């Protein structure tokens, strides 16, 4: 791989600093201007060859965050730095190089492929744009990429409708790989797929990390998948980070009640049923009650307090800061009471 000839930088590959994205809207026809706070002050870092998982319910701002990190959307405030340089201050040439280094995979492989382009056209397009191979070598290169994602070169001249969801997602991955990216932002890449197909795709992604040393910003609502793939995890709620931690420590012992609630909601497959039998009448989960509030009407104080089982009166008034909890170096949590129940 050509990138190995360059010395790998010590610093992070990508940094997002205090990102905010507010969408203005009017409540009613003559209502006053208001703001929907989709992302409200998110800071993150992805280092070389690391996977940062992002979890949270729908409406927590995960996808908006992904669009800003890939410079598809401009933040209201804050900055995204790629190898130390602001992507919003880049000139055309630099931005083109950035787009080559950062690729994206989307949730719905049915919507993210051009139905009128063959697999070859789809994968060859970025190679041509970035002039990564001569005319004669393109076919060879596309065949190699297809092989990397477990497809044979015979599929090259077929159209997307001839493929299943899992195969389409493989094509999307091959397209992202065509430019040898350093970071792949994957927004729910597995959720449209069946379980056994999910595992196939997951294996491809972890191979890319191991073999090509690609970093990932991996967005998913599936905690098992995030645990399996991530080195570090960001838990988002209503546009804010409520907890950040190394993956193993997070799954061993979540500090924020929202994280704990998410874990309790995901049905465990092992553990209980063998000894206790399946009937769950008496065993209530610690799952958060109610729905996530609308981002146009974020509760004051801690945004999670209306659903939180452990809240006390200051939670509704004072918003907790994202801080390093005592005795937990390297972790961050935004909760007044993290110490009281973990």
Partner 1 sequence: MPAIKNSPLLEIKDLDISFTRAKGGVKVVDSVAFSIPSGSIFGLAGESGSGKSLTALSIMGILPNGARAQGSIRFKGRELLGLPAGEMRSIRGKEISMVFQEPMTSLNPVLKIGYQVKEALLAHLPISKKEARDRAVQLLRSVMIPSPEQRINDYPHQLSGGMRQRVMIAMAIACNPPLLIADEPTTALDVTIEAQILELIDTLRAERDMSVLLITHDLGAIARHARTVGVMYAGRIVELAPVEEIFAGPRHPYTIGLLESIPFKNKKGSPLKPIPGSVPPPWGLPPGCKFSDRCSFMIPACQQAEPELEELASGHLSRCIRAREMKWSL
Q: Which residues bind partner 1 (CB under 8 A)?
A: 57-58, 164, 166-167, 194-200, 202-203, 206-207, 221-225, 227-229, 248, 251, 261-262, 264-270, 272-274, 277-281, 284-285, 287-292
Residue 261 or 301: which CB sits closer to partner 1? 261
Rounded distance between C-alpha atoms, residue 314 and residue 336, angstroms = 8
Residue 22 or 251: which CB sits closer to partner 1? 251
Rounded distance between C-alpha atoms, residue 305 and residue 335, angstroms = 10
**Closest distance of CB 133 from partner 1, Å:** 30
Residue 117 or 292: which CB sits closer to partner 1? 292
- The CA-based angle 23-27-29, given to 5 degrees, is 120
**Closest distance of CB 332 from partner 1, Å:** 22
Give 90's Cβ-side CA count (13 Å radius).
20
Is the CA virtual torsion 123, 179, 50, 4 positive or negative? positive
**Closest distance of CB 115 from partner 1, Å:** 20
**Closest distance of CB 324 from partner 1, Å:** 25
Residue 16 or 171: which CB sits closer to partner 1? 171
**Closest distance of CB 295 from partner 1, Å:** 13
Q: State the residue for tokens 């195969």.
A: 167
Which residue in 125, 17, 38 sits closest to 80, CA to CA? 17
Residue 15 or 64: which CB sits closer to partner 1? 64
Residue 267 or 327: which CB sits closer to partner 1? 267
**DSSP three-state, residue 230:** coil
Cα dist from 68 to 39, 61, 238, 338, whole Å: 10, 11, 16, 30
- The CA-based angle 59-64-65, given to 5 degrees, is 110
**Closest distance of CB 276 from partner 1, Å:** 9
């Amino acid at each position: 791989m050509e990138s190995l000839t360059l010395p790998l930088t010590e610093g992070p590959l990508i940094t997002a600093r205090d990102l905010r994205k507010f969408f203005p809207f009017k409540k009613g026809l003559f209502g006053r201007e208001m703001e929907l706070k989709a992302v409200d002050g998110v800071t993150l870092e992805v280092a070389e060859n690391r996977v940062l998982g992002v979890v949270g319910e729908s409406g927590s701002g995960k996808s908006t965050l992904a669009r800003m990190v890939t410079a598809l959307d401009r933040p209201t405030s804050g900055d995204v730095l790629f190898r130390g340089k602001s992507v919003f201050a880049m000139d055309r040439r630099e931005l083109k190089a950035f787009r080559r280094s950062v690729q994206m995979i989307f949730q719905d492989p049915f919507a993210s492929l051009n139905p009128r382009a063959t697999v070859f056209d789809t994968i060859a397009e970025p190679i041509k744009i970035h002039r990564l191979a001569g005319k004669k070598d393109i076919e060879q290169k596309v065949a190699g990429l297809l092989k990397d994602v477990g497809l044979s070169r015979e599929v090259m001249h077929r159209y997307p409708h001839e493929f299943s969801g899992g195969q389409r997602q493989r094509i999307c991955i091959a397209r992202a790989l065509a430019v040898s990216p350093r970071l792949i932002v994957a927004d729910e890449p597995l959720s449209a797929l069946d379980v056994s197909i999910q595992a196939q795709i997951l294996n491809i992604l972890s191979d890319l990390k191991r073999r090509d040393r690609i970093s990932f910003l991996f967005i998913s609502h599936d905690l098992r998948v995030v645990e399996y793939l991530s080195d570090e995890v960001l838990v988002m709620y209503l546009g804010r980070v409520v907890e950040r931690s190394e993956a193993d420590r997070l799954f061993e012992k979540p500090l924020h009640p929202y994280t704990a609630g998410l874990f309790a909601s995901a049905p465990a497959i092992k553990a209980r049923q063998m000894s206790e039998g399946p009937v769950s009448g008496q065993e209530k989960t610690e799952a958060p009650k109610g729905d996530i509030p609308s981002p146009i009407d974020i509760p004051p104080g801690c945004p999670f307090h209306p659903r939180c089982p452990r809240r006390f009166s200051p939670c509704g008034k004072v918003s907790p800061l994202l801080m390093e909890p005592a005795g937990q170096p390297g972790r961050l949590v935004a909760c007044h009471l993290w110490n009281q129940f973990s």
